[in-house]
Amino acid sequence: MHWSLAFIAAGSVGIGATAGRRRLLLSQAKHRSLAGHSKWSRRIAGLIPRVDYDAAQFFRCDGAPDGVVAKREQGFERLAHLFAERFPKGRALTAETRAGLSDLQFTGSYRVPFQFARHVKEHLGVGAFTERSAGVTVTDLDGNDFYDLTGSYGVNLLGYEAYKGMIAEAVAQVADLGPVLGQLHPVVADNVARLRALTGLDEVSFHMSGTEAVMQAVRLARYHTRRSKVVRFCGAYHGWWGDVQPGIGNPVNADRTFTLAEMSEKALQTLATRNDIACVLINPLQALHPNSAAPSDNTLVDGGRRAGADREAYAEWLHKVAEICRERGIVFILDDIFTGFRLARGGAAEYFGLRPDMVTFGKTLGGGLPNGVLIGRADLMKRYREDRPVDICFARGTFNAHPYVMAAMNAFLRKLDEPDTRALYDGLDDRWNARAARMNASLEAVCAPVRVANLSSIWTVTYQVPSRFNWMLQYYLREEGLLLSWVGTGRLIFSLNYSDAEFDEVVTRFTRACERMAANGWWWHAPDATDKSIRRGILRELIAKRLSR
C-alpha cells in the first residue's frame, strides 16, 4: 500500500476510535432511567395501552381483603357525596367549560394514574374556578375557603394582596399611555437598571413567558458559540419548547439536545471533552429531586417518590459544571424562572454562590402579570455582528415590554427593596426547614406513612408505604380545605406571607386528612409488597392488555 494511503487509513481509524469513545462517554453520562433517553421514552410511551379499572378492580387492584375493600368503598362514597354537596357550582361550570377548553381536558385527565382516572373523574370531580383571594386563602364559586398550597405555579411569592396592589399601581402608572407597543414607557429604563444591579450582568431582554426567555437564551448561545448542541439535565423543566423538552410530551426528536445525569462525573467528562456544546441549562429546582422530573400524582403508582435537598452538595455540583463551562467556552445559563427570588433576594445565583453567563427570570418578577426576562453578558446578548451586518440573531415579540407588565414588574422590583420584604429573606431557609420539620413531627405522631421534603418554601410529599393509592391523599386534603394544583401532592408551594398560626392550621388539617385516609384503608398493603413488585404487576397488566388487542 502506498504510504499516503496507509497514513490516511490510520488517521481514519484514529478519528473513528475517538468519535466512538465520545459516543460511549455520552451514553454513560446519560441517566439510566427512561427520562435520560428521550427517544426510547417516546417509543415506549407509544406502546402503552389504555387500562381503565371498573368499580370492582378499582378498590381491590392490590389484592386487598374484603374488609379493607369495604372501608375504601365507604370512604370513597363519602367523599363523592361530600364533593357533590360542597362544590356544585364549581363542578358544573368546569364540566360545561371543559368541552371547549383543552387545558381543562388535559389537567382533568392527569390528576391520578390513568388506570384510576375514569372512575375518579366520574365521582370526585373538582372545580377549576375560584372567585377571590385574601391573605393565604382562596375562595371557590361555592363559597368554600381553601388555604392555598399551589403558589399559583410559583408566581405567588409575597401573597396575593401584594400582587393585587402591584397590578393596581401598574394600571394607574401607565394609564395615560395605555397599551401602546413598540415605543417604551419610561418605567422600562428603571427596570433595566434594577435588574442589572440585582444580577451583576450587563444587558436585559424582555419577553412574555419563561419559555420565550429560555428560547432566546439558547438561540443567542448557539449564535455566539457557533455550536448547535444543548445540554440539559435529567428531569429538569425549561419550558415546553421542543429543543429543551425532549422525550414524552414532544412529538419530534430533540436531536440537538443532550440529557445528562446530574451529580455525575461522566456528565462532567462529557462537558469537558466535546467541542459542539453551545450551552448548559440549569434549573435550580432540581436540587430538591436531582435526576427526577417534577413529581406529580398522575405518576404516583407506588411509594417510590423520593426527594430531599442537600444545598451544599448541589452547590458543589453546580460550581463544577460552571467551571468546566468557563474552561470550554460553553454558555452557563441559569434558568431561575421558577425559583427566582424564592430562594434568595438575588435568586438562585445568590443562593448557590454562582456567576452565570445568562439568567432567565419570570413568574413572580412580573408582579402578577405574564412575563419572561433574559439577562446576560453583553457579548452574549448582542444580536448582530459588527463585521457581518446581515448575520443577525432575531428575536422579537409584539407584547415584549408591554407597558402594564413593565409597570407591574417595576412595582415588584421596588417591593424587593422595601425593609419588610428584605426582612422576609432573613433566616428564610431556617424558617421553612423548621416548618417542614414541624409538619413531619405531626405526621409521625399519628403514625402516618407520609413525610414532606422541601427546598425552602417549595415542598414535595413523599410516602413510606408501597401503596397503589398514595395519590388519594390529594382528595382528603381538599376535603380539609387545602388547595393543591393539578399535580396533587407532588408540589406544594407556600407564599412567604404565611404566619406561624396559619401554617399551624395547615399542619393540623394535613395531619387530619392523613388520619382519615388511613382509617379508610388506602394504605393497606400486602406484607410482601414492594414498590418493585407493584411496578412489575402494573407491567404485567399492560402487557396483557396489549396482547389482547
Query: Counting every residue, how long is the chain?
Result: 549
Question: Where are the strands (E) in 366-421, listed by range?
Answer: 372-376, 384-385, 388-392
CATH of the domain at 501: 3.90.1150.10
Tell me the pLDDT tens digit for each residue of 215-235: 999 999 999 999 999 999 999
Give residue for cell 502506498. 2
Angstrom distance (rounded) from CA 118 to CA 121? 5
447 within some domain: yes
Confidence of residue 241 (pLDDT cuts 50, 70, 90): confident
**Which residues partner with 385 through β-bridges?**
388
Task: Tell me the average pLDDT of the chain.
Answer: 93
Q: What is the average pLDDT across 186-208? A: 97
Give pTM, 2 decimals.
0.93
Q: CA dist 125 to 94, 120, 133, 479, Å?
A: 9, 7, 22, 12
Cα dist from 276 to 220, 228, 270, 328, whole Å: 15, 6, 11, 10
In this structure, what C-alpha cell is assigned to residue 372? Answer: 419572561
Work out the pLDDT band at 4, boundaries 50, 70, 90: low
The string of pLDDT tens digits covering residues 145-159 is 999 999 999 999 999
Which residue type occupies 146? F
For residue 2, the model assigns a pLDDT of 59
Between residues 121 and 13, the one the model is more confident about: 121
C-alpha to C-alpha distance for 35 and 260, rounded to whole angstroms:
10
DSSP structure string for 224-275 = HHT--EEEEETT----S-GGGS-STT-SS--TTEEEE-TT-HHHHHHHHH-S
Helix 114-123 × helix 102-109 angle, to 10°: 110
**Of 254-268, 309-323, 355-369, which range is least confident?**
254-268
C-alpha distances in Å from residue 103, one per residue of 437, 483, 528: 36, 19, 40
Residue 333 lies in a domain: no
Which domain, by its residues, includes 121?
Answer: 64-157+427-525
How far from chain centre, in Å, is Cα 365?
Answer: 17
Q: What end-to-end distance do the CA atoms of the chain give, in Å?
A: 60
Let me know if residue 442 belongs to a domain: yes
Is position 275 within any domain? Answer: no
Nearest residue to 24 (alpha-carbon basis) of 240, 270, 306: 270
- pLDDT for 29 beyond 80: no
Give the angle subtended at the CA of 200 by the CAs of 197 and 202, to the nearest 5°.
95
Rounded CA-CA distance 338/212 in Å is: 14
Q: pLDDT digit string (tens) for 281-333?
A: 999 999 999 999 989 999 999 999 999 999 999 999 999 999 999 999 999 99
pLDDT at 349 (0 to 100): 98
464 phi/psi in degrees, rounded to 5: -110, 5
Residue 276: the pLDDT is 96
Q: Give Cα separations from 232 to 151, 267, 335, 393 (angstroms).
A: 26, 11, 11, 22
Q: Does the pLDDT at position 199 exceed 90?
A: yes
Q: Render pLDDT for 368-419 as a digit per residue (tens, 0 to 9).
A: 999 999 999 999 999 999 889 899 988 888 889 999 999 999 999 999 999 9
Q: How confident is the model at residue 38 (pLDDT cuts 50, 70, 90)?
A: confident
pLDDT of 227 reads 97
Reported as a single tens digit per residue, the pLDDT across 117-141 is 999 999 999 899 999 999 999 999 9
Phi-psi region of 151 (alpha: psi -120 to 50; beta: other; left: phi over 0): left
- When pLDDT is averaged across residues 158-179 and rounded to a whole number, the result is 97
Check whether 8 has a pLDDT greater than 60.
no
Burial class (CB in 10 A: 0-12, 13-18, 19+), 238: buried
Q: Write out the three cell numbers for 311.
A: 444545598
Residue 490 domain-assigned (yes or no):
yes
As for how many domains the chain has, the answer is 1
Comparing CA positions, the residue from 112, 146, 154 lying closest to residue 127 is: 146
pLDDT value at position 11? 55
Largest CA distance in the chain: 90
Q: CA-CA-CA-CA torsion for 460, 463, 467, 473, nearest 10 degrees?
A: -50
pLDDT at 479 over 80: yes
pLDDT of residue 426: 96
pLDDT surpasses 60 at 94: yes
What pLDDT is stored for residue 396 in this prediction? 83
63 pLDDT tier (thresholds 50, 70, 90): very high
Give residue 242's pLDDT: 85
- Between residues 328 and 252, the one the model is more confident about: 328
**Residue 115 scores a pLDDT above 90:** yes
State which amino acid sits at residue 158: L
pLDDT of 250:
82
Q: pLDDT at position 335, please?
A: 98
User: Given this model, what pLDDT does residue 128 score?
Assistant: 94
- Is residue 9 scored above 60 in pLDDT? no
In a domain, 131, yes or no: yes
- For residue 262, pLDDT beyond 90: yes
